[in-house]
A and B are shown apart, each in its own frame.
Chain A
Amino acid sequence: EAQVTQNPRYLITVTGKKLTVTCSQNMNHEYMSWYRQDPGLGLRQIYYSMNVEVTDKGDVPEGYKVSRKEKRNFPLILESPSPNQTSLYFCASSWGRHRTQYFGPGTRLTVL
């Protein structure tokens, strides 16, 4: 089954404790992206990747890191999480940047 998976689905953590949210797709998509969704602000792009070893900042990259060592995986790293990073996070992938995005199920992160 073609899908985008994210783990964990829910995470509660404390300020400053490094965490990683994994994202994996099995559709051989080149373009992968991370978004955060906050009430009234819609989806905002954090980082995206055009292909392996090619990543770039979206609109809200501060406080986040990503890597793309393999085509299928695109982890999101929070080196020192802060409460303002409490949000709902979505990973998405597509054949290209202008194509339909397939979204993962979301990760609800709470930073205390």
Chain B
Amino acid sequence: EDKVVQSPLSLVVHEGDTVTLNCSYEVTNFRSLLWYKQEKKAPTFLFMLTSSGIEKKSGRLSSILDKKELFSILNITATQTGDSAVYLCALSGCQYGNKLVFGAGTILRVKS
């Protein structure tokens, strides 16, 4: 049973392209959705989203949550080779109790 589904599983783009990564989920009652970036080591935090419709931005990265349609997107503009990583989204909240549930991740490769 997939609770958090990320798409695409993998993509390859060229430097300068814009990418949109998707995270969809099946529950309606949760506290926060988190995005992480994982290079060849531990995941590092990108964004935490709790409210629908409010975009969060950090440099070339931005993310937004749609609680009505049950998804979140992570946008990366003007991609660079350093953006190559696995991007993970996770949910925490009431329906999952005290657990955190991660998606399988999207593998992004940016070619120069």
Nearest-Cβ distance from residue B87 to partner chain A, whole angstroms: 11
Tally of chain B residues near chain A (CB < 8 A): 23
Q: Are A43 and B90 in contact (CB under 8 A)?
A: yes
CB under 8 Å from chain B, chain A span 74-112: 90, 97-106
Q: Are A101 and B100 in contact (CB under 8 A)?
A: yes
Q: Is B92 an interface residue (CB 8 A)?
A: yes
Nearest-Cβ distance from residue A62 to partner chain B, whole angstroms: 15
Q: Are B98 and A41 in contact (CB under 8 A)?
A: no
Nearest-Cβ distance from residue B44 to partner chain A, whole angstroms: 8
The CB with the most chain A CB atoms within 10 A, among B48, B90, B98, B102, is that of B98
The interface residues of chain B lying within 8 Å CB-to-CB of A102 are: 45
Known contacts A33-B100, A97-B98, A100-B48: does B92 contact A43 (CB below 8 Å)? no
Q: Are B43 and A90 in contact (CB under 8 A)?
A: yes
The interface residues of chain A lying within 8 Å CB-to-CB of B99 are: 45, 48, 58-59, 97
